[in-house]
Amino acid sequence: MNVKISIDAMGGDFGPSVTMEAVIRALSHHSDVTALVFGDRSALQDCIDKTLSPSIVSRLELCHCASQVDCHDKPSFAVRSKQDSSMALALTSLKEGKAEACVSAGNTGVLMALSLFILGTLPGISRPAICAEIPTDNGNKLMLDLGANVDCSADQLYQFAVLGSHTANLALEIDNPTLRLLNVGLEAGKGNNLVQATAEMLEADESLNYQGFIEGDGIFQGLADVIVCDGFSGNVALKASEGVARHIYQKLPALSADFKGGLAELKASIQPSLFNGAYLLGINGVVVKSHGGADVQGFANALERAINAARHQLPSALSPLLAQNNH
């Protein structure tokens, strides 16, 4: 399947110096992928001139943009005043059917606001969630929400559960994915009113393979294919986990040479950039958010997630499934 992706090349801490190299890397790995790249044409062209592959250059289309989203821009301001930005125009190309997926490392709040304004949501979804693949002892799993919605209703958490379950089935190809709700304990009576109300809704839906609560220390054990939480709890858990992984990663070179052979695989497996790229799940289109500080490998991994979701035609596949859950 031929796939065209749109890229906000100006987003993130490093802009085109990282995003363009990652795009070129992705195109070199996928001969059936083409890219619409939005940003300052001169900066983008400088990056393209560094590659000597005619095959890659022929699959790159540069789209000049008059502005870009700043890390300090407020979502409301960007929606009103940044419609000509690289982020907005990359999303618009998705809306117009010129691309099947969009990737940006820019301001998360603005990306969410512009995605809602330009693309809207899937049926039955009131708010999208940030959903990422996480490494576990039992393969990659999904966790959402990771920061888009710090305050949630039980109905929204239920929507996230439905979204996550279907996405795990479609994108990760997991049959009848297991689902758990993040909580401070495993016992039925534990947790706040929000968690208790959500649990009741999940238990009542027989189409979901709901398995009860999960605590923070179980996230990476692979005890669930999908972990659901509000954006506040999810973001704290994610950032704490990234910090621990980075701490261990930085300590490994100092270990004795006797251990280095066996630890090489561990070092590679916990590198945060390997898991960069989160879906804005619930948006009516494939939108992937890269970490702003991602390096070339990290942004390339975000592109891989977008390409995979586009190949699975994720939004169009999710729509009828969500409609079933709403009846």
Instruction: For residue 294, count CB atoms less than 10 angstroms from its CB and return exposed for 0-12, middle for 13-18, buried for 19 or more.
Output: buried
Q: Is the pLDDT of residue 45 over 60?
A: yes
Q: pLDDT digit string (tens) for 117-126?
A: 999 999 989 9
Which percentage of the chain shows pLDDT scores above 70? 92
Q: Encode burial over 46-72: b for 16+ CB neighbours within 10 A, e otherwise.
A: ebbeebeeeebeebbebbebebbbeee
Q: Which runs of consecutive H residues, i.e. helices, occur in the chain?
A: 16-29, 41-48, 54-57, 75-81, 86-95, 108-118, 154-170, 193-204, 231-251, 257-269, 296-311, 314-325
Q: Which domains are assigned to the chain? A: 1-125+282-312 (3.40.718.10), 127-273 (3.40.718.10)
pLDDT of residue 244: 80
pLDDT of residue 198: 97
pLDDT of residue 100: 97
Half-sphere exposure of 171 (CA within 13 A, CB side): 30
Q: Which runs of consecutive H residues, i.e. helices, occur in 84-132?
A: 86-95, 108-118
- Round to whole Å and give the CA distance between 38 and 41: 8
Q: pLDDT digit string (tens) for 246-261?
A: 777 777 666 555 555 5
What the block records as the tokens of 257 is 């040479």
What the block records as the tokens of 127 is 């708010």
Which residue has 């990282």 as its token pair? Answer: 18
pLDDT of residue 107: 94
Q: Is the pLDDT of residue 245 over 60?
A: yes
Q: pLDDT digit string (tens) for 14-40?
A: 999 999 999 999 999 999 999 999 999
Q: pLDDT digit string (tens) for 183-200?
A: 999 998 899 999 999 999
Q: Report the predicted TM-score, pTM, of the whole model to 2 decimal places.
A: 0.91
Q: Is the pLDDT of residue 42 over 60?
A: yes
State whether the Cα torsion 12-295-290-9 is positive or negative. positive
Kindly give the interhelix angle for 16-29 and 296-311, rounded to the nearest 10 degrees: 50
Q: pLDDT digit string (tens) for 212-224?
A: 999 999 999 999 9
Which residue has 């497996």 as its token pair? Answer: 269
Q: pLDDT digit string (tens) for 118-163?
A: 999 999 899 999 999 998 999 999 999 999 999 999 999 999 999 9
DSSP state, residue 143: E
